[in-house]
Structure 1
Amino acid sequence: MTGNPIDLEPQYNNRAAVPDHPVVMARWKAEAETARVARPPLELAYGDRPREVMDLWEAAPDAPVAVFIHGGYWQALDKGWFSWIAPPLLAQGISVAIPSYDLCPEVSLSRIVHQMRAVADLLKASTGARPFVFGHSAGGHLAACLLSEGRASGALAISGVFDLEPLIPTSLNTALGLDALTARALSPIYWPPPNGGAPGGTSLDCIVGAAETAEFIRQSRAMADLWASKGVETRFEALDGLNHFTVLDPLADADSGLVRRIVERVKQ
């Protein structure tokens, strides 16, 4: 599903494609620290390893839960970078969970998928309902995995990587260690659609920045189109002027279309 032969390294090396990404990421970190001071989260363990923890902000005891899964190509970052995502959703009566997970190459990508299953299963056990999941880049991949398996009530993937095979020839694969077999097995674009594609089932939004590389736009469009062809309710949108890092900016604005869409999806 890689399309026409192209040089895949610049297509998937987002830090090289966005030279000012350190400025954006520094803002993420500063705003996350401000948010945590203003409203400290409860830290919950979902496993025994040090990074098997999540931050949880409860809007109310019976509020629906949205889980944000961070990106970093499964080999960087943690929950502490993204606390700023919680306040706009809390203001709308939605509880927010942000998990960390182990990173490649210390663990395999399949292990990270397993960890996110544990997060979703723990939240369902504690609330009685499947959480809504949304994530960025690698987190978009993991959100789609959980949706396919029926562990989420719905999903919104921002700049998701749904087909891992194009990563094999890139420098990113040094840590991931994917071959053709493992890449295909871990690519949700090849997984069964949620609920077998039955009408009235869960749905998937594929959101991407219109200023991202052609491959990231293709990935989101292809995922939405394929699952739609199998009966799943999907939605594709490319956000004008936003790149792989600034595509998260609307999550800080309670009045943005992206936050409104998440609220709509969580509460439907």
Structure 2
Amino acid sequence: MDLDREYNARATTPEVEEIIAAYRARTDAAKAVLRWSAQSYGPTEPERLDVYPAGEGAPVLVFIHGGYWRALDSADAGSMAPAFVAAGACVVSVNYTLAPAASLDRIVDECRRALAWVHANIARFGGDPSRVHVAGSSAGGHLAGMLLAGGWQAALGLPEPAVAGATLLSGLFDLRPLPATHINAWMSLDDASAARNSPALLPLPGGLPVVLAYGETETGEFKRQTEDFARSLREAGCAADVVPPRPRSNHFDIVFDLGEPGALHEATRRAMGL
């Protein structure tokens, strides 16, 4: 198997730059019509998040952006906010320090601390910390999976699990193949760091609703990673469902499906109790 080809998401999507530009444009449009504020969850500039409030006692959608851990920003990750705020959910878009300036261990730690900030502070914005649904796409899907998995919550004073459900889009859940690919040029993973940052190798919660999805034009490895992780979640006792891909959907535009009418949006709303 040519692992470099299998894990090269951009090569599957000729219009990738246009789609990525739309991430920022749609987020700007959301901020133009919604109340929102930027908040800090840590001491460095990248440790921030955007909060889009809803009514009192609202479930919370925490979204983590992709970009293979080295690109994009929370300013590119609010396209789903109008739909979920309209449905009665508070939306939080998480930012984090990018590789190679940050190791994956640090990026994961930042996302965990962002979730701890949500638990401690989201009630001020109308959100219910007991109804946090974490979501992410691509690298963000991996990071959301790391928040779903267990073994770290007690150190931050959080319950285990610290989320009530998850939506994982085109994520990577077993990172052990990555040190042998071009991705390691900026990630610098060794076998140990790849293993400890693999949600599929960590304790998984039971009893939670988890929505998974990938684009129709994804490579076989991206699809396999999602299907395998869904199987592991079911074995742990989660209600894990893989949403059938929208025709002609790809690794990058699947993010828009989260905030638009259709199977992925509806599945996530059901999982959140909306």
The answer, yes or no, to whether TM exceeds 0.5 is yes
Name the structure 2 match of 1:252.
Answer: 259
Cα shift at 1:40: 4.5
Q: Is 1:36 aligned to 2:31, yes or no?
A: yes
Name the structure 2 match of 1:123.
Answer: 118
Cα shift at 1:101: 0.2
4+ runs deviating over 4 angstroms: none
- Secondary structure, counterpart of 1:189 in structure 2: helix
Q: Out of 205-214 and 121-130, give the one that drifted further.
A: 121-130
Name the structure 1 match of 2:217.
Answer: 211
- CA-to-partner distance for each residue in 1:72-116, whole Å, 9 max, x for gaps? 111110000122220000010001000110011111101111111
| 8 Å Cα contact 2:167-2:211 kept in structure 1 | yes
Q: 1:171 aligns with which of 177, 182, 203?
A: 182
Which amino acid in 2 is paired with 1:225? R
Matches within 5 A, 1:1-268: 6-126=1-121, 127=123, 128-149=129-150, 150-194=161-205, 197=206, 201-239=207-245, 240-253=247-260, 255-267=261-273
Cα shift at 1:130: 4.9
TM-score between the two structures when normalised by the length of structure 2: 0.89
% same residue? 35
Cα shift at 1:224: 0.5
- Secondary structure, counterpart of 1:84 in structure 2: coil
Q: Which runs of 5+ in 2 are unaligned?
A: 124-128, 151-160
- CA-to-partner distance for each residue in 1:177-231, whole Å, 9 max, x for gaps? 111111011100001111xx3xxx2232221112111000000000011221232
Distance 1:142 1:46 in 2: 16
Which amino acid in 2 is paired with 1:90? V
Distance 2:14 2:173 in 1: 25
- CA-to-partner distance for each residue in 1:59-79, whole Å, 9 max, x for gaps? 113211110100011111000
| 8 Å Cα contact 1:130-1:151 kept in structure 2 | no
| 8 Å Cα contact 1:217-1:238 kept in structure 2 | no
Q: Out of 234-243 and 209-218, give the one that drifted further.
A: 234-243
Q: Which runs of 5+ in 1 are unaligned?
A: 1-5
Q: RMSD across aligned C-alpha pairs, in angstroms?
A: 1.4
TM-score between the two structures when normalised by the length of structure 1: 0.91
- Secondary structure, counterpart of 1:98 in structure 2: strand
- CA-to-partner distance for each residue in 1:27-63, whole Å, 9 max, x for gaps? 2222221221222511111111101110001111321
| 8 Å Cα contact 2:65-2:137 kept in structure 1 | yes
